[in-house]
Amino acid sequence: MKAFGTDTTYCPHHLSKSDLYEYGDLCLKIHYGNWDWETARQICLNEGGDIVQPRSPGMQQYIRVNLLPQVQKSEEDGFRIGATDLNSESH
């Protein structure tokens, strides 16, 4: 996947620039795999980040326009975001 027209100034230097997207001062990376939420989050934490939490309509639009098409081109059936029901349903 390529991050066309994306300035990756804020992204950590140890990550491959071709896999990165930037929204404001946030660095976004797509990981491909079929993991449960806890495993997906741990993968992000291991790289110094966390699962993306779309906190504004602008960020939701950015994800929909820039990241969702990349996921849809893959064989994956969806993606994880930083939302859980751990406190209410324990999963």
Q: What is the mean pLDDT of the chain?
A: 73
Q: SS3 letters for 26-50?
A: EEEECCCCCCCHHHHHHHHHHCCCC
Domains of the chain, by residue range, sit at 1-77
pLDDT value of position 6: 47
Model pTM score: 0.64
Cα 41–chain centre separation: 10
Render pLDDT for 27-43 as a digit per residue (tens, 0 to 9): 888 887 788 888 888 98
The CA-atom distances, in angstroms, between 17 and each of 1, 11, 14, 81, 88 are 10, 8, 9, 21, 38
Query: How many beta carbons lie within 10 A of that of residue 88, not counting itself?
Result: 7
pLDDT in tens, 38-91: 888 898 888 888 888 888 899 889 888 888 877 666 665 555 665 555 555 444
pLDDT for position 4: 35
pLDDT of the residue at 91:
46
